């Protein structure tokens, strides 16, 4: 299954909401994404069936290694777009954050690699 933009958002949210043991609560994911609990529950069922998360009743949600890799990739794309929008184009941080969230799902791997290389070249310092 190819991940949809919604599923990528859920993986990213789990990654951000996870506690020190790597467990995220449905309520935290719901609140972060601004959706209803049944939406989170349905998404977690699908992600579990596809091997991205482990869900245990009353224990929370954990990313599998496959889920962690996917979440990290989404977070990386998001950070690259946010950086490009703020540092290169001068977009205000709030708008850049909102736009990066939309853009991270719609770009090809080639474009993402070129954008990352461009940012690395002009800024010189550090990986996203």
pLDDT by residue for the chain (128 residues), tens digit each? 789 999 999 999 999 999 988 999 999 999 999 999 999 999 999 999 999 999 988 889 999 999 999 999 999 999 999 999 999 999 999 999 999 999 998 888 899 999 989 988 886 644 44
10 Å CB burial of residue 6 (0-12, 13-18, 19+) is: middle
Which domains, from first to last, does the chain contain?
5-68 (1.10.10.10), 73-123 (1.10.60.10)
15 Cβ contact list (under 8 Å, min separation 6) = 24, 63, 68, 71, 72, 75
H or E segment and range at residue 87: none
Angle in degrees, CA 100, 104, 109, rounded to 5: 140
Specify the pLDDT at position 122: 82
pLDDT at residue number 58: 83
Neighbours of 109 (CB within 10 A): 9
Give the model's pLDDT for residue 124. 63
The Cα–Cα gap between 43 and 38 comes to 8
E-only strand ranges, the chain: 23-24, 53-56, 60-63
Bridge partners for 63 per DSSP: 53
* Secondary structure (3-state) at 108: coil
Q: What does the pLDDT read at residue 121?
A: 87
């Amino acid at each position: 299954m190819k991940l949809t933009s919604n599923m990528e958002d859920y993986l990213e949210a789990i990654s951000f909401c996870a506690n020190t043991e790597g467990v995220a609560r449905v309520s935290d994911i719901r609140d972060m994404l601004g959706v209803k609990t049944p939406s989170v529950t349905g998404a977690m069922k699908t992600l579990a069936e596809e091997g991205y998360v482990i869900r245990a009743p009353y224990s929370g949600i954990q990313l599998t290694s496959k889920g962690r890799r996917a979440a990290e990739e989404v977070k990386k794309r998001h950070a690259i777009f946010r950086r490009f929008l703020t540092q290169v184009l001068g977009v205000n941080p709030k708008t850049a954050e909102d736009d990066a969230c939309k853009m991270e799902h719609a770009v090809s791997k080639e474009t993402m690699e070129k954008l990352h290389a461009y940012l690395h070249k002009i800024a010189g310092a550090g990986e996203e």
